[in-house]
Amino acid sequence: GLSDAFVVIHEIEQIPNVRRRTVYEYHRVDILKSKISSSTAVEMLPLPTCLQFSSCGPCVVSRIGFNCSWCSRLRRCSSGFDRYRQEWVDSGCPEEKRDPRCLLATEARNTSSHTSTLLTATASSSMTPTPRSKASTITDLSSHKNKSSVQQLTSSSAE
């Protein structure tokens, strides 16, 4: 299978200069071995993630299945559970108050139907497109025909 995880480094107070690394797995894709044979290829299509947003507005109004938050200290959008988790926590992002300038701009856009329509068009054109399929397709390369399909929800390996 394929999995994604983040590492947290814990300081051990009782022992100076000793740190413990803990790996937290937060997503796994399992593919049945019975579906894999010689000359098999597996195509995994990533789902959208919070990391794709590069500014506060689109981040905080996103509806992609994750609870995306903007951290102004890092200038990054995240759910807090990705490969940058340690930096997110160390920078105080979970406790950070929402950026009032971002929220005011977002609320102002949403109060006017004309501006709201413009926001929707702008947000959708600046976002990474959602994949057409959430399936992992297993293909037999020797015959170049689709052999079978395994339904797997996948998360971007970049996150």
Domain residue limits, the chain: 50-129
Q: How far apart are CA 151 and CA 134, in angstroms?
A: 7
**Count of beta carbons in the 10 Å neighbourhood of residue 152:** 18
In sequence order, which residues have a C-beta less than 8 Å from that of residue 72 and are 6 or more positions away?
Answer: 56, 96, 99, 102
**Residues 154, 30 contacting (CB under 8 angstroms):** no
The pLDDT tens digits of the residues spanning 70-99 come to: 999 999 999 998 889 989 999 999 998 766
% the chain with pLDDT above 70: 61
Q: How far apart are CA 95 and CA 28, in angstroms?
A: 28
Q: How far apart are CA 159 and CA 134, in angstroms?
A: 17
pLDDT at 119 over 60: no
pLDDT at 113: 38
The pLDDT tens digits of the residues spanning 30-61 come to: 888 898 899 999 888 888 999 999 999 999 99
Q: How far apart are CA 29 and CA 122, in angstroms?
A: 33
